[in-house]
């Protein structure tokens, strides 16, 4: 089955700097890659997603890139703000309509 | 607020017991997904129902079962509970049956097994 690895497990950046979180997946048939943000004590919320026929997608300060050959995808957050502090999860859609999640990255933005 | 509701918010029970978690999807959503979130396992997909039918199955234990009713609400039944079942259980809903559709998560039910 699909396996998703996510790095780093924790990331501290200074306000205004960029943050990058990377994920690798094992199943070359996976074709959809969402990113969820979970603030402390809250529910996960979709922030951006990408399908396998696209290499990059941007939404304001957030972008996701996908390298199908290498089977990895990354989340890029520019001009980080304190409200970006949260746990970020990547996921890959595997066979059988399942989303397999990475272990999560705790992002701390220091002001 | 995502529009997905879950009850109860918290549940404390003993090993060997059985509990039922309830989820009401957003208005118009036909799919309900159940996830387990624990500290050491992250977010694990359990099962998906679409319009009353089981659509996809993940790492759901045989002690766990779920169903989706005609009014589209769903229940997750956990039986013969063990300490390791303590976790946050989320349900999520989406409009379509594939996981390409955005999933909207509920607030979760925190289960503590003593």
pLDDT level of residue A94 (50, 70, 90 thresholds): confident
Contacts of B2 in chain A (CB under 8 A): 43, 45
- Residue pair B46/B76 in contact (Cβ under 8 Å)? The answer is yes
Average pLDDT, chain A: 95
pLDDT level of residue A97 (50, 70, 90 thresholds): confident
CB contact A35 to B (< 8 Å): no
Burial class (CB within 10 angstroms; exposed 0-12, middle 13-18, buried 19+) of A22: middle
Q: Give SS3 for B67.
A: strand
pLDDT level of residue B100 (50, 70, 90 thresholds): confident
How many CB contacts within 8 angstroms connect chain A with chain B?
Answer: 50
Query: If we measure between CA atoms, which residue out of B31, B15, B4 comes closest to residue B111?
Result: B15
Q: What is the structure's pLDDT at A95?
A: 76
CB contact A53 to B (< 8 Å): no
Q: Say yes or no to pLDDT of B84 above 90.
A: yes
Residue ranges with strand state E in chain A:
4-7, 10-14, 19-25, 32-38, 45-51, 56-59, 62-67, 72-77, 86-94, 98-101, 105-110
Q: What is the structure's pLDDT at B101?
A: 85
Nearest CA in chain A to B38: A103
Instruction: Select from B42, B93, B107 the residue whose CB has the most chain A CBs within 10 Å, as the one to mutate to test that interface.
Output: B42
Of B56, B98, B107, the CB nearest to A43: B107
Average pLDDT over residues B99-112: 93
Q: Say yes or no to pLDDT of A87 above 90.
A: yes
pLDDT in tens, B38-71: 987 789 999 999 999 999 999 899 999 999 999 9
CA dihedral B65, B22, B31, B3 (to 10 degrees): -160
Looking at the complex, report in whole angstroms how far the Cα of residue A71 sits from the nearest Cα belonging to chain B: 18
Q: Say yes or no to pLDDT of B1 above 90.
A: no
Looking at the complex, report in whole angstroms how far the Cα of residue A103 sits from the nearest Cα belonging to chain B: 5
CA distance A87 to A94: 22
Q: What is the structure's pLDDT at B99?
A: 80
Nearest CA in chain B to A33: B100
Q: What is the structure's pLDDT at B107?
A: 97
Considering only residues B101 and B76, tell me which one the structure prediction assigns the higher pLDDT: B76
Looking at the complex, report in whole angstroms how far the Cα of residue A18 sits from the nearest Cα belonging to chain B: 25
% of residues, chain B, pLDDT over 90? 88
pLDDT level of residue A54 (50, 70, 90 thresholds): confident
């Amino acid at each position: 089955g699909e396996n998703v690895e996510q790095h780093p497990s924790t990331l501290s950046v200074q306000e205004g700097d960029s943050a990058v979180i990377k994920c690798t997946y094992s199943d070359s048939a996976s074709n959809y890659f969402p990113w969820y943000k979970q603030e402390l004590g809250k529910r996960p919320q979709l922030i951006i997603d990408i399908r396998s026929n696209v290499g990059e997608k941007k939404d304001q300060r957030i972008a996701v890139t996908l390298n199908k050959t290498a089977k990895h995808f990354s989340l890029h957050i520019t001009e980080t703000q304190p409200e970006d502090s949260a746990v970020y999860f990547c996921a890959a859609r595997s066979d059988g309509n399942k989303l397999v999640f990475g272990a999560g990255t705790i992002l701390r933005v220091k002001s | 607020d995502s529009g997905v509701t879950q009850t109860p918010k918290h549940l404390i029970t003993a090993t060997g017991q059985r509990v039922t978690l309830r989820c009401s999807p957003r208005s118009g959503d036909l799919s309900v997904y159940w996830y387990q979130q624990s500290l050491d396992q992250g977010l694990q997909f359990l099962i998906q129902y679409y319009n009353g039918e089981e659509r996809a199955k993940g790492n759901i234990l045989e002690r766990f079962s779920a169903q989706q009713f005609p009014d589209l609400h769903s229940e997750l039944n956990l039986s013969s509970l063990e300490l390791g079942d303590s976790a946050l259980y989320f349900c999520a809903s989406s409009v379509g049956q594939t996981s390409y559709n955005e999933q909207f998560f509920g607030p979760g039910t925190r289960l503590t097994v003593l």
